[in-house]
Structures are given as C-alpha cells and as structure tokens.
C-alpha cells in the first residue's frame, strides 16, 4: 500500500504560484491518477520516485518510508525500488534493447541475467527485437522495452507517466490491454498517470481525480467520470459520460446496434463489430434530455428510468447526476431544474438519441 | 634541433592533453550538473586563458608557480624543485591554455543530455558514479572527444605562455612552435619548413582519426 501526503509550493516570478497539496493511498492493481495538464500529476509521481523533493509531507510504500519531513527522512532514489516509465521512453540510445533491460536487472550471474532479460522481453512481446538499438524500434516497441527495463529491476511499485501519449492510436489500444495483462501477471502495483478518460476507464481499478494540485475525488473510474461529486471534479472530468459494455445485437436494416451495459441496454448507430466485442461509449451530458414522465412516442431511441442523485450548480449550468443502475451526468439549465422541480430522490426519465452515443477509441 | 623539439612537443602535449581531458571532464561535470558557491567564479577562472593574451597567462603562471610564486615558493622550499626551464613547465602552459576548450566542449555535451536518462539509471538502482560511467559519459562521448582533439591542437600550437613559463632552451623546453620561430629568425627557413610540414601532417591525421572514431562506418 502506497501512502502519500505531500505539499509543495511553486513560485512564479517571485510570487507564490501553483501549490501541490495531495493526499491519497494506492493499493494493489492499477491506480490511475487523472487530471488536466498542469494539475500536478507528474510532480506527484516524481515525488514518489524521489526525483522531486516535496516541501512537507510523508510518502511510504508498505514497510518502507520514502520521505517524511517531520523526521527528515528522504530516501535516495536508488533505494526506493521504484520503476519509472516516461512518456518518451528514454531508452539508453547506446545500448540494445536487451542491454537496456539488462542494465537494471538484479540477477548476479550472467546466464541468470540473460534468462531474466529474455523473460522480461517475452513478457512485453518484443523478444524478437532484443538486439535492436532504440533508434531501430517503433514507438510502441520502445515503450514495451522501457516497460521491460523497469520491471527487470524488480520494483516494489511501477510509476507510469502518460506512457502512451507518444504512441500511435492503433498501437495504443493494444498496449493498454498488454499493460493490464503485465500488471496481473507480475502483481506489482501500478500508478498510471493519464489525461485520457477512455484510457483511465479501460485500465484503472481505482481512479484518483486531480485538480489544481489536489485530489478532488476518487473511486471506481466509471463512477468518478459519470458522477462527479463537486464542481472541481465535474470540471476535470468534462461533460462526457463514459460507458463500457459489449455489442449484443445488430439490426442493420434499422440502422442500429445494441450494446449491453450490464444494467441496461443502449441503442446506438449501426456498427460493424462482432457480437461480444468490448466497446466504450461516450455520451455528452448536454446531449441527454430529462423528462419527469415516461414519454412513449419519441425519436430518441433510448429511454432510461432513474432517480436524481445530486445536483451541482457551476456558473450558468447545472450538472445533474442520475442513478439509473449506472450513474449518468446530465447538463441542464437552472431554468430546467426549477421548471421540472428536480431534487435528489425525484424519479426521472433520460432520453438519449442513438446518434448521441459515439464510440470512444 | 628538429628531433629534440619534436620529442619535447610530443611529451608535453600528450601529458597536457591527458591531464586536461581528465580534469576538464570533471570540471565540466561539476559546472553542468552541480550547484555550489563560487560556480560562476570557477567558470570564469577556467575560461580566462581563452580570452587573455597567452603571454599574460604565462606571466600569471610565473607569479603562481615561479620560485618565488604564490604556490611555487612552498614547492621550492619543500622539494628544491622549481618549474622554470623544465619540460613540465611546457606541459603546464599548454594544459592551462587548452583547458577552456576542453571544459566548454565537455560542458556543452553534458548539458545537451536529457537529465532524465540519469534519473532512469538512478531509479534502476545505479549509483551516481556508475551512472556517470555507463550512461552520461557514453552519451556525451562525442562532445568530450571533440574537446580532447581541440585541446590537443591548442596544446600543440602553444607558444606565448610556454615561452614565458618554460623559456626557450633547445633540448630542454624548446617545443616545435618555439623551434620553428627560432629557425626562421636565424635564417634557417628550410628547417622551419620541415617542422611546419610535420605539425601540419600531425594535425591532419588527428582530425582524420577523430572523424573515423566519432563516425564509425556503418556495418552493411
């Protein structure tokens, strides 16, 4: 278990600027640290690794204390056993893929080390490229080698700083699944920084939402994205609802496909994906219509019953979170809120056009 | 005259280049990677010989290392040895004149390396020293090698400061550039020409060798 409480003040032009003030814990599995750029994600990650020294606070992983301003503990980066994967890979350019992985490998004997390196390269699926220099590898391959290199040093935790943002879109989806697979196989806890909601939902067991240097909400990724609890959280996650399900049926002559979301089904525009395919849908909060009565004859293909969970007023709009078995956020005007007498516990119906459901990569 | 000057130049220049390569790399690393008090002063001091007239640098070296010099008097008191009119003086003068070039090249090379490579190495459990030899130095090797070549060339051509500190004694402190000057002044143009050609050929082969080393032919 990783425990982090850190504060760090940054000065800009002599005045007090951005302040990091984060407290959170991360368990086994993959914890996603999500936030806009400049929200303090990278500084947090680097503080854990020992690359940045916070002004105050405490960082510990299980039994080992990394940093404690009260007792003046600041463990050297070498002793933290923290693996770090950068966005731009940073493979040592003068070494081959295998040499890069061997660089941090713990094993003593040569043959043992070689076996360990082979094993790691195989784990991330680039054993065919072991003799290549980084310059000869694609972005995706380089990131796989970087992952293997970090894992070969047998870290107690792996920190990944937007590892896929420099990788092309098609490789990205595959690599995401592979990262999850590697995490399950090794059992090492991963702390994964990203600003992509789709990635966060796909990979995260737990999500930490960061805004302006603070953790503003945390929980299961889908719940955090679709049901922000406060205005800063709502602003960070944006207006997109994210739903994960699988393709259940096709009616091409009707121009629709049906997605099973577990708690309910969603009609979407026809897609050419095999039944059973995993799919991530996005529905913008402002594209959902709320009705107090069940509407029967409407062009909206989805009618979902639910209750109001809570309402957040942010400037000139209201974000309503509805509990429909799954959480969905809906953006309405204050006028609509008053006219429909919406309040927590009120029963409502959500109307969603099929064409408002788009597929997230 | 030619042979003794050649031997002396070879000795002084190789000792100077070797010392400058080591000291210059360490200084460059400190300037590029560490924050400490007096860093700017150290930088200025190291760079000074590049902008001062060589005779002035030589003059200061006498004040520092001469028999009654700031450091030289203790050295003389302790060992009875003094630097003036020795081949070591020629090496010191050449080294001090070459040092700024070495430090500048090596510092630029070190500063151009993404510091995060070193952070990666640390996170893989490697000490600062091991990281320096296995990551930093290989990544900066071209710039450092270029610095060594420039230093070699500067040391080989050193004239003014050498003349001041070491003097111009044939067979003792007379390096090639000094010998060329003497030969030319005393009307022995042919000797001067031979030595000029030797120095030119040496310089060309060093440049060629460096190019081969820094741009190894790609294996097909």
Say what the pLDDT of residue B64 is.
92
**Per-residue pLDDT averaged across B181-197, rounded?**
92
Rounded distance between C-alpha atoms, residue A303 and residue A321, angstroms: 16
Q: In chain B, whose CA is at the least distance from the CA of A87?
A: B116
In chain B, how many H helices and how many E strands? 11, 0
Task: Show residues of chain B in contact with A106, CB under 8 Å.
Answer: 125
**Which chain A residue is nearest to residue B139, measuring alpha carbons?**
A94
Classify B52 as helix, strand or coil. coil
Query: Residue A308 sits in a domain of what CATH number?
Result: 2.40.50.100
Q: Which two tokens stand for residue B156?
A: 């080989």
Distance from CA of B104 to the nearest CA of A (A): 23
Number of residues assigned to chain B: 220
Please report whether residue B219 resides in a domain.
Answer: no
pLDDT value of position A198 = 85
Residues A213 and A306 grouped into a single domain: no
Mark which of A237, A256, A282 sits at the end of a domain.
A237
B135-153: b or e for each residue (b if 16 or more CB lie within 10 Å)? Answer: bbbbbbeebbbbbbbbbbb
For residue A174, the model assigns a pLDDT of: 87
In sequence order, what are the beta bridge partners of A33? A193, A208
Q: CA A289 → CA A17, A227, A243, A352, distances in Å?
A: 41, 17, 17, 7
pLDDT tens for chain A, 361 residues long, are 999 999 999 877 666 678 999 999 999 999 999 998 889 999 999 999 999 999 999 999 999 999 999 999 999 999 999 999 999 999 999 999 999 999 988 777 888 888 999 999 999 999 999 999 999 999 999 999 999 999 999 999 999 999 998 888 888 888 999 999 999 999 999 999 998 888 898 899 999 999 999 999 999 998 899 888 988 898 888 888 999 899 999 999 999 999 999 888 999 999 989 999 988 899 999 999 999 999 989 999 999 999 999 999 988 899 999 999 889 999 999 999 999 999 999 999 999 999 999 888 7
Strand partners, A250: A257
Measured CA to CA, the distance from residue B15 to residue A86 in angstroms comes to 43
Same domain, A231 and A252: no
In-domain check, residue B135: yes
A231 and A245 in a single domain? The answer is no
B114 interaction partners in chain A (CB closer than 8 Å) = 90
Other CB atoms within 10 Å distance of the CB of residue B24: 27
| Residues A160 and A266 placed together within one structural domain of the fold | no
* B-contacting residues in A 221-260 (Cβ below 8 Å): none
Which of A214, A237, A260 delimits the end of a domain?
A237
Q: A299-308 burial, b if ≥16 CB within 10 A, otherwise e?
A: ebbbbbebeb
Residue B68 has what pLDDT? 85
Same domain, A133 and A41: yes
Q: How many angstroms separate the CA atoms of A166 and A143, rounded? A: 9
d(CA A208, nearest CA chain B) in Å: 24
Whether residue B116 lies inside any domain: the answer is yes
The residues, ordered by sequence, that sit 6+ positions from A300 with a Cβ below 8 Å of its Cβ are: A289, A351, A352, A353
Residue B76 pLDDT class (50, 70, 90 cuts) = confident
Q: Give the confidence band of B206 by pLDDT, cuts at 50, 70, 90.
A: confident
Instruction: Examine the pLDDT at B114 and tell me if it is beyond 60.
Output: yes
Name every chain B residue with its beta carbon within 8 A of the beta carbon of A90.
Answer: 114, 116-117, 120
Which structural domain range is residue A275 located in? 240-360
Closest CB to B122: pick one of A77, A93, A149: A77
Confidence grade of residue B220 (pLDDT, cut at 50, 70, 90): very low
> Rounded to a whole number, what is the distance in Å from the CA of B108 to chain A's nearest CA?
19
Q: Which residues of A touch B121 (CB under 8 A)?
A: 103
Nearest Cα of chain A lies from the Cα of B44 at a distance, in angstroms, of 28
Reported as a pLDDT band with limits 50, 70 and 90, residue B180 is very high
Q: Are both A252 and A195 inside the same structural domain?
A: no
Contact B116 A90 (CB under 8 A): yes
**Is the domain of A305 the same as that of A332?**
yes
Out of A78, A149, A153, closest to residue B127 by CB: A78
Q: Report d(CA A188, CA A317) in Å as an integer.
A: 43
Q: Which residues contact B45 (CB under 8 A, 6 or more apart)?
A: none
Tell me how far apart the alpha carbons of residues A225 and A202 are, in angstroms, rounded to a whole number. Answer: 12
Mean pLDDT within B117-135: 95
> In this complex, how many residue pairs, one in chain A and one in chain B, have their CB atoms less than 8 Å apart?
50
CB pair distance less than 8 Å for B123 and A49: yes
| For range B85-106, the mean pLDDT | 94
Q: Which of A237, A258, A285 is the last residue of a domain?
A: A237
Q: Which residues contact B101 (CB under 8 A, 6 or more apart)?
A: B50, B147, B150, B151, B154
Domain count, chain A: 2
Phi, psi (5° rounding) for residue B108?
-60, -40
> SS3 sequence, A52-104?
CCCCEEEEEECCEEEEECCCCEECCHHHCCEEEECCCCCCCCCCCHHHHHHHC
Nearest-angstrom CA–CA distance, B157 and B150: 11
Residues from chain A that touch B127, judged by Cβ atoms under 8 A, are 78
Which tokens is A128 given? 């065919």
Count: domains in chain B:
1
The reply to whether B220 falls in a domain is no
Q: Distance between CA atoms of B37 and B39, rounded to whole angstroms?
A: 5
Instruction: Quote the Cα angle for A56-A61-A67, to 5°.
Output: 25
3-class DSSP assignment, residue B177 = helix
Q: Is A333 exposed, middle or buried (0-12, 13-18, 19+ CB in 10 A)?
A: exposed
Q: Does A53 reach chain B within 8 Å, measured CB to CB?
A: no
Instruction: Give contacts of B135 with chain A, Cβ < 8 Å.
Output: 92
Can you give the pLDDT at residue A15? 67
Asked if A80's CB is within 8 angstroms of B123's CB, the reply is yes
Q: Which of B125, B127, B135 sits opposite A92 (nearest CB)?
A: B135
Per-residue confidence band for B88, with pLDDT thresholds at 50, 70 and 90: very high
Q: Which chain B residues contact residue A94 at CB under 8 A?
A: 138-139
Q: If we measure between CA atoms, which residue out of B96, B65, B99, B83 comes closest to residue B166?
A: B83
Which residues of A are less than 8 Å from B134 in CB distance?
103
Same domain (yes/no): A12, A95: yes
Same domain, A299 and A229: no
Q: What CA–CA distances, in Å, run from B163 to A182, A306, B57, B180?
A: 68, 95, 11, 13
Residue B209 in domain: yes
Which CATH number goes with the domain that contains B146? 1.10.3720.10
Report which secondary-structure segment, H or E, holds B116. helix B115-123
Touching B: A residues 63-92, CB under 8 Å: 76-78, 80-84, 86, 90, 92
CATH number at residue A72: 3.40.50.300
Domain residues for the domain of B33 are: 2-214
Same domain, A96 and A165: yes
A136 and chain B in contact, CB less than 8 A: no
- Residue B6 included in any domain: yes
Alpha-carbon torsion angle A96, A97, A103, A104, nearest 10: 170
Q: Is the dihedral of CA A269, A270, A271, A276 positive or negative?
A: positive
Q: Is pLDDT above 60 for B217?
A: no
Same domain flag for A55 and A158 = yes
A133 and A251 share one domain:
no
A12 and B CB contact within 8 Å: no
Residues B58 and B162 sit within 8 Å (Cβ to Cβ)? yes
Which chain B residues are closer than 8 Å to A76 by Cβ?
Answer: 122
Which of A78, A90, A94 shows the shortest C-beta gap to B125? Answer: A78
What is the predicted pLDDT for the residue at A14?
A: 66
- The predicted model gives B194-200 an average pLDDT of 93
Nearest C-alpha in B relative to A158: B123
Interface with B, mutate which of A47, A79, A83, A92 (most B CBs under 10 A): A92
CA distance A309 to A329: 10
Q: Are residues B119 and A84, on separate chains, in Cβ contact within 8 Å?
A: yes
Which helix (H) or strand (E) element contains residue B147? Answer: helix B137-156
pTM of this structure: 0.84
Q: Which of A324-328, B16-20, B186-190 has the highest mean pLDDT?
A: B16-20
Alpha carbon of B145: minimum distance to chain A alpha carbons (Å): 16
Cα A241 to Cα A282: distance, rounded to the nearest angstrom: 5
What would the 3-class secondary structure string for chain A be?
CEEEEEEEEEEECCEEEEEEEEEEEECCCEEEEEECCCCCHHHHHHHHHCCCCCCEEEEEECCEEEEECCCCEECCHHHCCEEEECCCCCCCCCCCHHHHHHHCCCCCCHHHHHHHHHHHHHHCCCHHHCCCCHHHCCHHHHHHHHHHHHHHCCCCEEEEECCCCCCCHHHHHHHHHHHHHHHHHHCCCEEEEECCHHHHHHHCCEEEEEECCEEEEEECHHHHHHCCCCHHHHHHHCCEEEEEEEEEEEEHHHCEEEEECCCCEEEEECCCCCCCCEEEEEEEHHHCEEECCCCCCCCCCEEEEEEEEEEEEECCEEEEEEEECEEEEEEECHHHHHHCCCCCCCEEEEEECHHHCEEEC
Cβ distance B120 to A90 less than 8 Å, yes or no, reads: yes
Pairing between β-strand A157-161 and β-strand A347-352 as defined by DSSP bridges:
unpaired
Sequence-separated (6 or more) residues with CB below 8 Å from residue B129: none
CA–CA distance, A123 with A354 (Å, rounded to integer): 41
Partners of A49 on chain B (C-beta within 8 Å) are 119, 123
CA distance A160 to chain B (A): 12
């Amino acid at each position: 278990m990783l425990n982090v409480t850190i504060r760090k003040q940054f000065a800009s032009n002599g005045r007090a600027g951005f302040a990091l003030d984060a407290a959170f814990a991360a368990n086994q599995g993959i914890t996603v640290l999500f936030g806009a750029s400049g929200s303090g994600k990278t500084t947090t990650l680097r503080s854990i690794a020992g690359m940045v020294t916070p002004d105050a606070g405490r960082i510990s992983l299980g039994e080992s204390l990394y940093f404690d301003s009260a007792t003046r503990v600041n463990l050297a980066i070498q002793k933290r056993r923290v693996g770090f994967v950068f966005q731009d890979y940073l493979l040592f350019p003068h070494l081959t893929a295998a040499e890069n992985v061997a660089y941090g490998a713990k094993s003593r004997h040569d043959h043992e080390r070689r076996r360990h390196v082979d094993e790691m390269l195989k784990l991330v699926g680039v054993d065919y490229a072991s003799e290549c220099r980084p310059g000869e590898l694609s972005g995706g391959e380089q990131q796989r080698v970087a992952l293997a290199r970090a894992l070969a040093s047998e870290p107690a935790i792996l920190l990944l700083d937007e590892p896929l943002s420099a990788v092309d879109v098609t490789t990205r989806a595959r690599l995401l699944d592979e990262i999850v697979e590697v995490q399950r196989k090794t059992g090492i806890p991963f702390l994964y920084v990203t600003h992509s909601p789709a990635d966060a939902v796909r990979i995260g067991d737990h999500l930490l939402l960061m805004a302006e240097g603070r953790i503003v909400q945390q929980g299961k990724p889908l719940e955090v994205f679709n049901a922000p609890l406060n205005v800063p959280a709502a602003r960070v996650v944006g207006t997109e609802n994210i739903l994960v399900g699988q393709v259940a049926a096709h009616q091409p002559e009707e121009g629709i496909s049906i997605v099973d979301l577990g708690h309910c089904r969603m009609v979407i525009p026809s897609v050419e994906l095999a039944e059973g395919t995993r799919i991530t849908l996005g529905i913008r909060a402002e594209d959902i219509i709320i009705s107090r009565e069940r509407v029967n004859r409407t062009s909206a293909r989805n009618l979902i019953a639910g209750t109001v969970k809570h309402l957040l007023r942010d400037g000139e709009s209201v974000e309503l979170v509805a509990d429909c078995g799954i959480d969905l956020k809906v953006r309405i005007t204050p006028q609509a809120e008053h006219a429909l007498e919406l309040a927590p516990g009120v029963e409502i119906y959500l109307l969603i056009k099929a064409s408002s459901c788009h597929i997230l990569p | 005259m030619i042979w003794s000057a050649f031997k002396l130049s070879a000795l002084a220049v190789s000792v100077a280049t070797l010392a400058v390569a080591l000291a210059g790399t360490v200084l460059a690393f400190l300037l590029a990677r560490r924050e400490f008090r007096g860093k700017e002063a150290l930088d200025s001091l190291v760079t000074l010989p590049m902008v001062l007239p060589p005779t002035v640098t030589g003059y200061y070296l006498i004040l520092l290392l001469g028999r009654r010099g700031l450091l030289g008097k203790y050295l003389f008191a302790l060992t009875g040895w003094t630097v003036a009119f020795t081949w070591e003086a020629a090496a010191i003068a050449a080294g001090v004149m070459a040092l700024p070039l070495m430090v500048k090249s090596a510092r630029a090379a070190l500063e151009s390396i993404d510091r995060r490579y070193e952070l990666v190495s640390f996170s893989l459990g490697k000490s600062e020293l091991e990281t320096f030899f296995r990551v930093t130095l290989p990544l900066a090797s071209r710039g450092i090698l270029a610095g060594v070549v420039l230093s070699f060339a500067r040391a080989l051509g050193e004239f003014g400061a050498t003349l001041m500190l070491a003097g111009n004694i044939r067979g003792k402190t007379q390096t090639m550039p000094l010998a060329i000057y003497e030969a030319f002044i005393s009307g022995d143009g042919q000797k001067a020409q031979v030595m000029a050609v030797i120095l030119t050929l040496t310089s060309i082969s060093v440049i060629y060798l460096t190019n081969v080393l820094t741009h190894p032919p790609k294996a097909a």
